[in-house]
Amino acid sequence: MDKQQWTKPQPMWLEDTSLPSFNELKEDTSADVAVIGGGITGITTAYLLAKQGKQVILLDSDHLLNGTTGHTTAKVTAQHGLIYYELMKHFGTEDASLYYQAQMSAFSLIEELIQKYDISCDWKKEDALLYATTNKGALKLDQEYEAYRKIGIEGSLNESLPFDVEAKKALVMHNQARFHPLKYLSALIEEFTKLGGEIYENTKAIDLKEGAKLEIHTGSGATVTCDKAVSCSHFPFYDGKGFYFSRMYAERSYLMAIEPEREIPDGMYLSVDEPKRTIRTAEYNGKPILLVGGESHKTGMGVNTSFHYNAIEEFAAQTFGIKKKLFQWSAQDLTTLDKVPYIGPITRRNDRVFIATGFRKWGMTNGTLAAQLISQSVAGEDSLFHSLFKPSRFKTDPSMKQFLSQNFDVAVHLVEGKLELVADRPQNLKKGEGLVVQWKGERAGAFKDEEDQIHLLDTTCTHMGCEVEWNDAERTWDCPCHGSRFSFDGTVVEGPADQPLMKIAFPYPEQQQITSDEINAEEEQPDQI
């Protein structure tokens, strides 16, 4: 990638949707329920609670729909990869069936709301397909199909695909759908505000105090007092001693929108073999296009992230031909220990604070499901699904294995980052380039902006002390331990970290950047710092 030509990866959904804007919260206020997070989960939860007659305030740390929801593939499906055979093994057939029923309940609510408000959002029913290119993958599809049959999922096995990939087998889940998520959610935002709901953007929830009432403290200094709080902020902004940072891991994946040269196939496709590939149709400016993606890896643990975009582009070119490349973007998703989302009270004894997280790339149905379950809980209603998704569950298998694996992985990266030998120097950076460098004998993060100024940071993540790595495609510093992300200047982009990376001090207190010439001078006079 030419560093001089770099532009921020932009999701297609944000490009062709006009969203309303809302003010920052600057004064103390109160509500029945405060919802934190302006994605599909938060917006749908706020809407459903307002429909119940609750006074609801929705807070977002940035702009609505600028997070994971704005970066989705937007498949509305209960086919969440190879999940049902695994659920049957670890939870039993009954719970596996409940998982499917829950997803289809969310599917039905989305479809119902689209019809109720006549929302124009490119809603289209299509089959969802998992496909295998290896014998091992084909065997997994056979097992998954057997789970479909036992659970009662409408599906079938195919022997080929309608595009140029040599597949051993494909598993179809019939009558699923895809849509434009922001067009759909912009209509729900409008309905929520009509019901008296309040929305505040650029308002970061930083802490929650529990007393007779809940108090949510924000970065702007304002406080929201409420009876109930719902964290829909991807990673919970408040942990409540639930230790969620140790019970989930973060993955990044990549997506590209293209005008293909060859005929576009109907359906939504996902490979079960590595490297993962996801394919689905869409519309842009009145034309049919393709979304092609994949290349998932744990956050902060991939190779140079431009490699992933290049790999997707090469696959798309070989399989469909590329008439025009329109957009490319990436997303971050959280996966729980047992792959089932955490939806419900934050701990077993706390029925005032709710969380919804760990959707494992399937946020359209899981986010909507979370809104259903949490709004029911706030209203004092029960559901068949509450027990399966409750955050306080802990299944010995596979949760214990995943817990030990995840936290051993964290320990390894914690030690490896501290021991890493770094040879690069900040003055060798090109414009638009970021690197882990050596600065006065210590590990540091350096980025050179378009004005030739170098930003130097301590690379120690402010969450639990792991060492962050540079993400070239997004221009962020990413933590491999728990998925925190920071901008090139150290600002928090994504939690669980809530404090920025520390800037490295320069000769003058007000100085925030440094030039290559100043670096050379400083290295010759180390006693000045």
Q: Which two tokens stand for residue 46?
A: 């706020």
> Any idea which residue has 């409420």 for tokens?
226
In the predicted structure, residue 508 carries a pLDDT above the cut 80: no
Above pLDDT 70, what percent of the chain? 86
- Comparison of pLDDT for 403 and 389, the residue scoring more: 389
16 within some domain: yes
CATH number of the domain encompassing residue 454? 2.102.10.10
Residues 6+ apart with CB under 8 A from 262: 163, 164, 320, 321
Mean of per-residue pLDDT scores for the chain: 87
| CB 176, CB 76: distance < 8 Å | yes
Residues 6+ apart with CB under 8 A from 279: 163, 265, 268, 269, 270, 290, 291, 292, 293
524 and 451 both lie in a single domain: yes
383 and 449 both lie in a single domain: no
In the predicted structure, residue 527 carries a pLDDT above the cut 50: no
pLDDT digits (tens, 9 = 90+) for 2-13: 433 455 578 999
377 and 463 both lie in a single domain: no
pLDDT tier, 401 (very low <50, low <70, confident <90, very high otherwise): low
Residues 6+ apart with CB under 8 A from 294: 253, 254, 271, 275, 276, 277, 278, 312, 315
Give residue 424's pLDDT: 65
Separation of alpha carbons 173 and 157, rounded Å: 9
Give residue 402's pLDDT: 57
226 and 345 both lie in a single domain: yes
Give residue 509's pLDDT: 41
356 and 432 both lie in a single domain: no
| CB 71, CB 11: distance < 8 Å | yes
CATH number of the domain encompassing residue 22? 3.50.50.60
Pairing state between β 342-347 and 322-336: unpaired
pLDDT tier, 290 (very low <50, low <70, confident <90, very high otherwise): very high
431 and 522 both lie in a single domain: yes
449 within some domain: yes
430 and 389 both lie in a single domain: no
Residues 304-324 have a mean pLDDT of 92
Continuous H helices in 420-485 = none
306 within some domain: no
pLDDT digits (tens, 9 = 90+) for 260-288: 999 888 999 999 999 999 999 999 998 99
240 and 356 both lie in a single domain: yes
506 and 461 both lie in a single domain: yes
- Write down the pTM of the prediction: 0.82
Above pLDDT 90, what percent of the chain? 61
Give residue 231's pLDDT: 97
Q: Considering only 62-66, 199-203, 293-297, 441-445, which range has the smallest mean pLDDT? A: 441-445
153 within some domain: no
Pairing state between β 277-284 and 287-298: antiparallel
Give residue 529's pLDDT: 33
pLDDT tier, 507 (very low <50, low <70, confident <90, very high otherwise): very low
What phi and psi, each to the nearest 5 degrees, are found at residue 317?
-65, -45
Q: Name the most confidently modeled range: 316-320, 446-450, 459-463.
A: 316-320
Residues 48-65 have a mean pLDDT of 97
In the predicted structure, residue 523 carries a pLDDT above the cut 70: no
Given 393, 408, 441, the domain boundary residue is 393
322 within some domain: no
Separation of alpha carbons 21 and 1, rounded Å: 33
Report the number of distinct structural domains present in the chain.
2
pLDDT digits (tens, 9 = 90+) for 127-144: 999 999 999 999 999 999
Separation of alpha carbons 455 and 515, rounded Å: 9
Residues 241-259 have a mean pLDDT of 89
β-partners of residue 325 are: 258
69 and 17 both lie in a single domain: yes
Boundaries of domain holding 477: 426-528
389 within some domain: yes
70 and 13 both lie in a single domain: yes
459 and 515 both lie in a single domain: yes
- Select from 390, 300, 403 the least CA-distant residue to 351: 390
368 within some domain: yes
84 within some domain: no
